[in-house]
Structure 1
Amino acid sequence: MIEVLAPAEAVQAAPELAEVFVSAFGAPGYDEDRADAERFATEQLPVHAERDDFKLVAARSDGRIVGFAYGFTGQRGQWWPDRVAAAVPAELAEEWVGGHFEVVELAVAVEAQRQGLGTALMEALMTDLPHRKALLSTYVDDRPAPRLYQRMGWRVLVPDLGWGSALYGLDRAMP
């Protein structure tokens, strides 16, 4: 079952979300550790929950969160949009960066992977948004996440931003 958590509910669920984070990103090749998950739960998520149009969707199995995805309206003056704008051609930044829906995290616990949860979470996350454009960054190499985004109609805008991440965009007005 996938549900939308209000910002306060998301922050309250942070310890459980951190467990999913460390399960998903603690796997070899991702190499995030418990300290990274703790920073996510205590620093990143509470700040992001205050951003405009914050939306977090969570998947539950047997009452426990096994996957989540979230984002918000990205604006110039925020760390990630400014970093992206500095790394891409000016025309691309003008068209895409600022006022976009910024997909920040998609994480599925290892035991719940390969069951279509990532797709279901992204579909739920992208439903009923007021934004025409959406952005995210993910790994440049061949992993499940880039393949998922491409299957869902996201396109590579910049193959490598210079720090091992590709920039993906979705024009939601396009069929």
Structure 2
Amino acid sequence: MPGWIRAYVRFVEGFNRRLGKVAMYLLYVIMGIMLFSSLTKILHIPALWTLEMAQFTLVAYYMLGAPWSLQGDTNVRMDLLYSRFSKKGQAWWDAFTVFALMFYLGIMVYSAFDSTVYSFEYNERNPTAWRPYLWPIKVVITTGFALLFLQATVLLIRDIATIRGEEI
């Protein structure tokens, strides 16, 4: 594989790994929000923002951690036949499924971007008592899908290298 492809793989995987390690700490943020919510309810002064903020934080945790999860191959796989394939056979099957994933992620990136632009143009707000702006979480969702797409391209490159008998 050419050097620029190896550099691309290292950059995308390094970025997604670092971002995933930061994103995993969002669980503590969610716990803090929920603890604050519980305390304010005990004191009979419930905060309006806690449930939505916990939901937004969970979306950020999931979307920003997903590329790292995909990179680490920690996703669920139906392994009835896959484990019986040779290493090259597994790479062929993975390349096929990555194409399907990239098609799906391409649609999701396009749709998320379109929704984010709409949110900016119309100052879209959530129709709740707190009424937060929706563009920040939509930016996170769009970024997460874009990073997932980039990670999928890295998986495809790795599969192609395996099929060709090369290492990256």
TM-score range (shorter-chain normalised) is: under 0.3
TM-score, normalized by length of structure 2?
0.26
Q: Which has the larger radius of gyration?
A: 2
Question: Looking at both structures, which has the greater relative contact order when contacts are Cα pairs under 8 Å and sequence separation is at least 6?
Answer: 2
Q: TM-score, normalised by structure 1?
A: 0.25
More strand by share: 1
